[in-house]
Amino acid sequence: MTRPLIGTSWKMNLTSVEAERWFATVVPGVERLDDRDLFVLPPFTSLWVARDCLTGSAIAWGAQDVHPDDGGAHTGDVSAPMLADLGCRYVEVGHSERRRDHGETPALIAAKVAAVLRWGMDVILCTGELEPGPFETVADGLRLDLERCLAGVPAAELGRVVVAYEPAWAIGEGAFAASPEHVGRIQRDLAAWLSERSGGSPVRVLYGGSVEEAAAADLLAESGVDGLFIGRNALDAERFVRIARTPSQHDDPTP
């Protein structure tokens, strides 16, 4: 049985003051939720708020990006040791918006993955197709992307990687989540590929494309969906609490 992992990236939203208010609602709202793991990825400017508000709680925190080098003349960038110093547990890499807006390649993403692991944090690696397509075409493309982005990661380290399946066509305002059946089929395929690569150790695969409150239960009930990675729908703290508390029923029944 895999504990569901449910979290959110705020992207470029919420100031430090707004972040403090968000935490003040969410921390007590999930206080008794002990059958799953939770995380939040605020902007860099609010990581210190997350540390101060979440230390001692059940909610982990982390960052939305990282530079592959540990230091140097990289104006405006943030390194893995800086994030580790702020108590980050997770670091997100490879989001489709980073690939689109900043031209990030699988090779660069692989270097970022290595930096995160090198500094003792866990990776949330995003992957997803740009447009809907036939299952085999989509699955082949995702496996190839993961192979490139995980280049150099030994099998023993794959347990520290969380894969977030985020089809680009299902991200953004006005977009809709993929069907649970599609998500489950894709994620079971990715989980099998990752398990083979890791020597049988489970690797969590989350879904994160326009996760609505109404769809959360159906997504979590789908075999292969190990959790949810929520975007804009988690900016409302009370809504995030409701999604985080969604029952998980995706484990296979006992024969």
Catalytic residues: 95, 166
Q: How far, in Å, CA of 75 to CA of 252, rounded?
A: 49
> In 3D, which of 103, 35, 52, 104 has the Cα closest to residue 245?
35
Q: Note whether 63 and 47 are within 8 A (CB).
A: yes
- CA separation (Å) from 5 to 31, 39, 223, 248? 15, 8, 14, 10
Q: How far, in Å, CA of 17 to CA of 40, rounded?
A: 16
H or E element that contains 63: strand 59-63
Q: How far, in Å, CA of 40 to CA of 25, rounded?
A: 13
> In 3D, which of 105, 95, 115 has the Cα closest to residue 12?
95
Enter the tokens of residue 138.
């989509």
